[in-house]
Structure 1
Amino acid sequence: MGTHVPLASYGSYEEAQRAVDSLSDRRFPVEHTVIVGMDLKLVERVLGRLTMLRAASLGAASGLWFGLLIGLFFAIFTPGLRNSIAVILWGLFWGLVAGALFGLVAHALQRGRRDFLSRSEMVADRYEVRVTPDRLDEARRMLETGPH
């Protein structure tokens, strides 16, 4: 990253992105800029309860994709369209079964310690656009003059 100094601070990533885009539109060498998330927090959004049925369903869904991939791979080497389709269908079936079983086993091994689904994301309170010190005055002038 090198040494960068603060140019401007924004409440959202999109605003910081627009500032860098504005600099780019004015032919500022944007390779001298960085966007830095400040005061980071990990936010885990709870999506719902994880039951045995839901664990099996989620496992089955991911198993289907894996089964499709395996089925398609083997279908390449299978003579005849009918046989190829049968191989793909068997791959889907066994992927579904194996995925559901793996989902159930993984959930059971948790022993109730984590009976919920969630999604984690990193969130910043503000975003700073920073530039190399030798480009600070030029970038500041460009941002202060408003849209191009």
Structure 2
Amino acid sequence: MPAPSRPPVKGTSLLFDVFVLAKAVQEMLSTAMADGPLTPEEYAVYSHLIEVQPCSPTALARDLRVPAATVTDWVRTMTNRGHARRVPQPADRRSYHLRLTAAGVRAHRRANASFELVNAAFLAALLRPEAELRGHLADIIAATGTGTATDPATG
């Protein structure tokens, strides 16, 4: 059951509101995607790989702002499922890029159906245009100092 909406609390900060937003989005996606083949986190990782693959683990950690150990866990899970494969790099055989397999793309496609339904409802509930809000989010991400924000025009 979704948490009730809360009015702004005097004395809280934008960072607090961003924290609450992250939790609300996590809850919304978890509920909508509960019966799918991927968790919301896995769906985000697979979505990113579809956009940029092949992708090194280092680049994946940087792009998604997660520790290398988290990427190692993701890679293990994806390869164990047969959803991704490691592609060795010719210049450095110890290094590899990650690429989704056909099974990984199919899992993403199945998860996408649930995602698109909840995303459409979410966008319909917004009071401002998506592009405007994505621009503000890019500014907020950039202000964290954790790396380059995603260009709101390209996603």
The TM-score normalised by the length of structure 1 is 0.24
More strand by share: 1
Compare relative contact order (CA 8 Å, sep 6+) and give the higher one, 1 or 2: 1
Q: Which TM-score applies when normalising by structure 2?
A: 0.23
